[in-house]
């Protein structure tokens, strides 16, 4: 097997379970030294337990790989800083940050509580921004010190819930759409330091999703979280240096590039609100419709 990530130092957040665990195992199998971060909380983010992350580290070491555990909360400013520091202290450098940690607090808007909105925003949006911010500052200094661009990566986690819009997930979907846009902006800002920034929109059966409905055996096979790890392993490697600012759907039988917002039919700006109706309706009729939740059907 050719090893795609030999010697690269990778942080995977939320790697104690589910999709992140598969990333950590495959990255280590491809020669990466992995910081396995996980707060180990419950599905809704409450509590902490270092055991799942430690088990992943034990598994990597038993297979001959290198890994350390980290129990910081990625959405805590100083915790995120300490996480980036952990990679540098443990392995001397940082090449790849995979922002994967996440929670769910699903509710229809009519019933959603402030705390449910805030918790999801904090873990997903701030939990992506804060580690990226501290990693970016580290990479800026490294590229100055070396006098050359690096070959570093940020790999974020969006969702079809965010980019296409899923009922019952206004908090989660808004955060995931924010992460998709954050990915584009960060890719533009960090290009000068040799850092690419992409996002995955995964689909897999994990504790986040396995109880949403009954799945057939074929669906369970297609929705095994191990299917997402190959694309993340490739993105983490030096081979992906030409790819940045993209959201890539992965899992449930497909790999696809999600295409972002584009300006559709356009007219000159108008002053009279009474004249806008027919003009705007004509623009909307000529515009491409929004995608449905499967990315293809049109609303
Ligand atoms: N499973 C899916 O179909 C699916 C679909 C779209 C997006 N996602 C996203 O993929 C990512 C992984 O989800 P999963 O399905 O593997 O879920 P999971 O619950 O199995 O794993 C998420 C992990 O993140 C950890 N975590 C939560 N908050 C944290 C924090 N503040 N700091 C550090 N760790 C924290 C949890 O302890 C957990 O181990 C999430 O961002 C999720 O939103 C999953």
Q: Tell which one of 12, 18, 21, 169 to mutate to probe ligand 1, the residue whose CB is within 8 A of the most ligand atoms.
A: 18
Ligand 1 site residues, Cβ closer than 6 angstroms: 13-14, 16-20, 37-41, 45, 52, 73-75, 100-103, 123, 127, 157, 159, 202-204, 206-209
Confidence of residue 299 (pLDDT cuts 50, 70, 90): low
Cα gap 161→172, rounded to integer Å? 8
pLDDT higher for 275 or 47? 275
pLDDT mean over 162-177? 97
Q: Tell which one of 206, 220, 227 to mutate to probe ligand 1, the residue whose CB is within 8 A of the most ligand atoms.
A: 206
Q: Tell which one of 15, 19, 82, 118 to mutate to probe ligand 1, the residue whose CB is within 8 A of the most ligand atoms.
A: 19
Cα gap 195→182, rounded to integer Å? 14
Inform me whether the pLDDT recorded for 43 exceeds 80.
no
Q: Which atom of ligand 1 is nearest to the CA of 14?
A: 24
Cα gap 127→130, rounded to integer Å? 6
**Per-residue pLDDT tens digits for 210-269:** 777 889 999 999 999 999 999 999 999 999 999 999 999 999 999 999 999 999 999 999
CA of residue 137 to ligand 1 center, whole Å:
25
Nearest Cα residue to atom 42 of ligand 1: 102
Pairing of strands 247-251, 254-258: antiparallel
Confidence of residue 208 (pLDDT cuts 50, 70, 90): confident
Inform me whether the pLDDT recorded for 284 exceeds 90.
yes
Average pLDDT of the chain to the nearest whole number:
95
Q: Which domains does the chain have, with CATH numbers?
A: 9-258 (3.40.50.720), 264-299 (no CATH)
Cα-based distances in Å from 197 to 136, 183, 186, 225: 11, 6, 6, 22
pLDDT mean over 49-70? 95
**Per-residue pLDDT tens digits for 82-115:** 999 999 999 999 999 999 999 999 999 999 999 9
Cβ–Cβ < 8 Å for 238, 151: yes
Inform me whether the pLDDT recorded for 50 exceeds 80.
no
Residues with active-site annotation? 172
User: pLDDT over 90 for what percent of the chain?
Assistant: 90
Cβ–Cβ < 8 Å for 252, 223: yes
Q: What pLDDT score was predicted for residue 60?
A: 98
């Amino acid at each position: 097997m050719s090893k795609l990530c030999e010697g690269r130092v990778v942080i995977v957040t939320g790697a104690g379970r589910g999709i992140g665990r598969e990333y950590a195992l495959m990255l280590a199998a491809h020669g990466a030294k992995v910081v396995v971060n996980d707060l180990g909380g419950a599905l809704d983010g409450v509590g902490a337990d270092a055991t799942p992350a430690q088990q992943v580290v034990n598994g990597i070491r038993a297979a001959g790989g290198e890994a350390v555990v980290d129990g910081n909360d990625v959405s805590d400013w100083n915790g995120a800083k300490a996480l980036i520091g952990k990679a540098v202290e443990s392995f001397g450098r940082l090449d790849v940050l995979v922002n994967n940690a996440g929670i769910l607090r699903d509710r229809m808007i009519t019933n959603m509580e402030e705390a449910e909105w805030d918790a999801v925003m904090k873990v997903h949006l701030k939990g992506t921004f804060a580690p990226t911010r501290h990693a970016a500052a580290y990479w800026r200094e490294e590229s100055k010190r070396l006098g050359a661009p690096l070959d570093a990566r940020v790999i974020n986690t969006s969702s079809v819930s965010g980019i296409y819009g899923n009922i019952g997930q206004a908090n989660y979907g808004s955060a995931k759409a924010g992460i998709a846009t954050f990915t584009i902006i960060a890719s533009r800002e960090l290009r000068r330091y040799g850092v690419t920034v992409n996002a995955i929109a995964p689909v897999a059966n994990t504790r986040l999703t396995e109880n949403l409905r009954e799945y057939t055996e074929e669906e369970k096979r297609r929705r095994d979280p191990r299917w997402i790890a190959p694309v993340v392993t490739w993105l983490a490697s030096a081979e992906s240096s030409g790819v940045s600012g993209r959201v890539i759907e992965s899992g449930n039988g497909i790999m696809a590039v999600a295409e972002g917002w584009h300006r559709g039919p356009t007219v000159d700006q108008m002053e009279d609100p009474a004249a806008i109706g027919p003009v705007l309706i004509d623009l909307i009729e000529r515009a491409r419709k929004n995608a449905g939740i499967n990315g293809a059907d049109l609303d």
